Chain A
Amino acid sequence: MQIYTVEAILLVFLILITGCIIYERDLLSAVMIYCAFSFGAVLLYLMMGSPDVAFTEVVVGTVSTIFYVIALKKIDRWCK
């Protein structure tokens, strides 16, 4: 029974993070919040009982954050 309550908390956590990414003006901050989003997604995949998908999500989440930061290094970092 405890599984479902923790899963509900995580879903709310993910929706909160997505909303905040949309309203973020600073690109670099949006990338950082995206990294937190990938943590939540990993936990959610785990709760649904699929460790292999969670493994790829760990690697994809971390490496894509690094690529975003490197891409931001090239273009001008537009922030408020």
Chain B
Amino acid sequence: MQIFFLVIMAALIMTIGLMLQRLFQGPTIFDRMNGLGVITADTILLIVLFGFLDKQPGMYVDLAMAYAMMGCLGSVVLAKYLGGKKL
């Protein structure tokens, strides 16, 4: 069962690595925010899986809950900033 968690964590780390390319090179700010949204969802997953890897998920699950709540605030604020009056 540990191997399965490691497989998923490896896939998530690979996804984050590829999204970095989109984050760094993305032509417009919206591409970068798109990569950031994927990295947010992946980080939440990585934290929870990391807790299960250590066999005591109690400590990590609270943090993932905080992240899930605060995660999309950046997108909303940026959309409001870029949208301006029209949004």
Contacts and interface: CB of A to CB of B under 8 A. Distances in A.
In the complex they form, do A and B come into direct contact, defined as C-beta atoms under 8 angstroms apart? yes
Nearest to B26: A29
Contact of A9 (B13, B40, B60): B13
Interface residues of A, number: 32
Contacts of A20: 24
B73 A62 contact: yes
B81 interface: yes
Interface in A56-71: 58-59, 62, 65-66, 69-70
Interface string A16-47: 11001000001011001101100100110011
Interface string B1-40: 0000010010001001100100110100100110010011
Contacts, number: 82
A67 to B, nearest CB: 9
Query: Chain A interface secondary structure, helix, strand, loop or mixed?
Result: helix
Interface of A: 2-3, 6, 9, 13, 16-17, 20, 26, 28-29, 32-33, 35-36, 39, 42-43, 46-47, 51, 54-55, 58-59, 62, 65-66, 69-70, 72-73
Interface of B: 6, 9, 13, 16-17, 20, 23-24, 26, 29, 32-33, 36, 39-40, 43, 46-47, 50, 53, 59-60, 62-63, 66-67, 70-71, 73-74, 77-78, 81
